[in-house]
Amino acid sequence: MINQALKDRITRRLVAGIQTPGQYVGGELNAVARDHATVRGTLCLAFPDTYAIGMSCHGLQVLYAVMNRRGDWACERVFAPWPDMEALLRREGLPLASLETFTPLAEFDVLGFTLQYELCGTNVLTILDLGRIPILAKDRDEKHPLVIAGGPCAASPEPMAPFVDLFAVGDGEEMLPRICEAWIEHKSRGFSREQSLAALAAELPHVYVPRFYESAQRHGRPQPLRPGLPELVEPAVVENLDAVGLPCRPVVPNVETVHDRIAIEIMRGCPWRCRFCQSSKLKRPVRVRRVETIVEAALASYRATGYNEVSLLSLSTSDYPHLKRLFAELRAVFAPLGVSVAVPSLRVNEQLQVLSELLTTDRRGGLTLAPEAARDPMRRRIGKTITNDDLYEGCRRLFAEGFDRVKLYFMCGLPGETEDDLAGIVEMAETISRLGRETSGRLAQVTVSVSNFVPKPHTPFQFAPMQSRDYFRKAHRFIIRQKRLRSIQIKCHDVECSLLEGVLGRGDRRVGRAIESVWRGGGRFDAWSEHLDVGRWWQALADAGVDPDDVLHRPRPTDEPLPWDHVGIRQGRAYLVQQHDEACECP
């Protein structure tokens, strides 16, 4: 079942200077290893970042559980190896293999990538190349796996289109099994690779096969090259979350990861209409899980893992309609077990004022809030329907319950931003810090995280220009100069990274040539600041004929076709235009 010879060859060399070797040996608690000779098909889920980040991705655990509930499929995992491990594999002539059975990636039927953020593209190519799969989709033949991709970046797929056979758009729980089954069925009937892909594109909804669409250059949307293919690929939507279940036996990592805890998705979608937010548009409509489903899954996961914290996930946890009852039942079950309940971040609304009384998480850990903008007029423009009064009263309650630290997320570079908006960020942070003194006699610690606004595809602000690097740098300096209290810490996101994120998220298929060029030039882990070579990226984009100024800084007429318009969202493009126009009318 396990390729023991390959495992032995790899593990014997891990002790020789490889960082965190435990991430490469597999054998974790709750991992599922099946004999490939006894199953109908094999799938390897690939996360194009480190094991520590990938194993913290709830979506990966969900899809792993979905596929392994099927007794006739073997679903395994692989992550991007750190450069020292990549060098070892290349030096020894060894393929990148799955963690469960050490099967080389080229021997799987399907290889499925989750694309969570724009700067992971070069790692996708590393995984393909080390797995001995041609990096370009056009170079693969019948002996190679089907390479599919999903996740947020699949909603703007053109930059990664040269490397992916098929994109699955929307929720993956129902679509992934259908794609895998159809691929195996066509192979069993003797279809060629081209015939199989054509059949998948024509027969399955919610899939985009780039080779059958004409690549859009500059202003335009990809158009189908064959009759019968949809001009607009609609997203898959799981209508009933309770019906698909939650991972109740999540894989427990061998080494420390970003999130070492039980993660339970309680709600999908967001009831609010923030105009900058891509996730809320891609995850519509709002669907909630029953309290009983959540509690049962959390308890089963605790028994299967022994974690001492349950984290409740959603885009807006405090908007879960049965929140008080959920916390009461979780507390009744988990308080006697010494297990705490936490939420990663909270929306600022009336629920925040009571939520602090319900949380059982360690008060010393603080809480994360996302006001996004510091002044009420700007929040109205971006569709964030909260007020400063809501925020301040909520923080008073938090501090009264024993919290003494708050992290605040803001953006700079929003459409129509003024110096007053920037100054308001620090004013708000300092006001909140002083609120801590009302209950504890000392200033609360406030960390301010300032990201640079990127006009994301499928949002009302997709038509807006992104600010220049000079603007962002000046804005960062201005914000930092406003700080007066030592209890305030300000962290501003890297400007070059944000600009690249914008190009890679908003570009057309030419961006793929730049991704390949950067990878061939040594680009790896570009989302990590210590690895990002921005000069190499800008040169590669220029060589590929991509003009960053046109992609990022030019306002778009709302009737201009865009490179991602062939991928739909639940509300439709007309809704985005309406919301854009309403934002422009805000004072």
pLDDT above 80: residue 75: yes
Strands 445-452 and 488-492: parallel
pLDDT tens-digit map of 222-280: 999 999 999 999 999 999 999 988 999 999 999 999 988 999 999 999 988 899 999 99
Per the DSSP assignment, residues forming a β-bridge with 428 are none
Q: Tell me the CATH number for domain 4-224.
A: 3.40.50.2300
Q: Residue 528 carries which DSSP code? A: S
Show the tokens assigned to 554. 């030019």
pLDDT at position 350 is 53
In percent, how much of the chain has pLDDT > 90?
Answer: 81
CA atoms within 13 A on the CB side of 579: 24
Rounded average pLDDT over 295-311: 95
pLDDT above 80: residue 196: yes
Amino acid at 356: S
The torsion angles phi and psi of 236, rounded to 5 degrees, stand at -75, 140
pLDDT at position 349 is 56
pLDDT at position 399 is 86
Q: Map tokens 């064959």 to a residue.
A: 226
pLDDT above 90: residue 59: yes
Predicted confidence band of residue 13 (pLDDT cuts 50, 70, 90): confident
Rounded average pLDDT over 49-57: 96
pLDDT at position 36 is 97
In percent, how much of the chain has pLDDT > 70?
Answer: 95
The torsion angles phi and psi of 408, rounded to 5 degrees, stand at -115, 130
Give the alpha-carbon dihedral of 25, 28, 32, 33, to 10 degrees.
Answer: 30
Q: Which CATH architecture has domain 240-344?
A: 2-Layer Sandwich (3.30)
Strands 262-265 and 309-313: parallel
Strands 110-114 and 73-79: unpaired
Rounded average pLDDT over 284-298: 96
Predicted confidence band of residue 345 (pLDDT cuts 50, 70, 90): low
Predicted confidence band of residue 216 (pLDDT cuts 50, 70, 90): low
Question: pTM of the full predicted structure?
Answer: 0.95
Q: Residue 349 carries which DSSP code? A: S
pLDDT at position 354 is 53
Domains 4-224 and 240-344 share a fold: no
Predicted confidence band of residue 389 (pLDDT cuts 50, 70, 90): confident
Rounded average pLDDT over 35-63: 97
Amino acid at 38: T
- Among 168, 149, 315, residue whose Cα is nearest residue 237: 168
> In whole angstroms, how far apart are CA 143 and each of 83, 105, 192, 385?
28, 12, 10, 53
For residues 66 and 176, the answer to whether their CB atoms sit within 8 Å is yes
pLDDT above 80: residue 282: yes
516: Cβ–Cβ under 8 A, 6 or more apart, which residues?
125, 135, 136, 162, 163
Per the DSSP assignment, residues forming a β-bridge with 122 are none
Per the DSSP assignment, residues forming a β-bridge with 421 are none
Q: Residue 252 carries which DSSP code? A: B
SS3 content of the chain, % helix, strand, coil (to 5): 45, 15, 40
Rounded average pLDDT over 48-58: 96
Rounded average pLDDT over 371-399: 88
Among the residue ranges 220-234, 257-271, 326-340, 354-368, the one predicted with the least confidence is: 354-368
206: Cβ–Cβ under 8 A, 6 or more apart, which residues?
168, 169, 170, 175, 233, 234, 235, 236
Among the residue ranges 7-16, 320-329, 331-340, 438-447, the one predicted with the least confidence is: 7-16
pLDDT at position 363 is 45
pLDDT at position 351 is 56
Exposed, middle or buried, 292 (CB in 10 Å: 0-12/13-18/19+)? exposed
Q: Where are the domains of the chain?
A: 4-224, 240-344
For residues 177 and 529, the answer to whether their CB atoms sit within 8 Å is no
Mean pLDDT of the chain: 92
364: Cβ–Cβ under 8 A, 6 or more apart, which residues?
404, 405
Helix boundaries (H) for 347-387: 352-358, 376-382
Q: Residue 535 carries which DSSP code? A: H
